[in-house]
Copies of this chain bind each other. A is one copy, B any other.
């Protein structure tokens, strides 16, 4: 199959497929006598696997290290470990999110519990000072950012739509 066909079947752009090849992620590629790339049907699997892993939060570099040249003989020990690490990452973030959410929720409760005899501005100050106190205790100052597994984890964002 040519690159256009593969692109169609995977939903990826041809340039992206070439890029993956250049990056050492897609090795199951041959050349026809005309110089055209020719792919076995298996390439669809490989590309699917790559995008799946990406969706799960793996960088291409991580994927490159996990993907065996021979799909049939991948080392699933390393793979399993990596998958579990990723799950742990997600769990850490979940805990963190839950914490943030609980904070917000209790903030809301705090605001709603505003004594009737103080004005809005004073209440705002009361609430804000509470937030600052919380934040500096739990999140700031280098101590525990997320990074449960590896180096820095700071990529997973909606594109600010």
Give chain B residues whose Cβ lies under 8 Å from the Cβ of A118.
none
B158 and A149: CB pair below 8 A?
Answer: yes
Report Cα–Cα, A142/B149, bound state, in Å: 28
Known: A11-B142, A112-B80. A104 touches B136 (CB 8 A): no
Which of the segments A14-22, A25-33, A66-74 contacts the partner chain?
A66-74
Smallest beta-carbon distance A40→chain B, Å: 12
Within 8 A of B (CB), among A73-113: 73-77, 79-80, 83-84, 86-87, 89-91, 93-94, 96-98, 100-101, 103-105, 107-108, 111-112
Give chain B residues whose Cβ lies under 8 Å from the Cβ of A58.
157-158
Known: A94-B97, A108-B84. A57 touches B157 (CB 8 A): yes
User: A38 at the A/B interface (Cβ < 8 Å)?
Assistant: no
A57 and B156: CB pair below 8 A?
Answer: yes
B75 and A104: CB pair below 8 A?
Answer: no
User: A49 at the A/B interface (Cβ < 8 Å)?
Assistant: yes
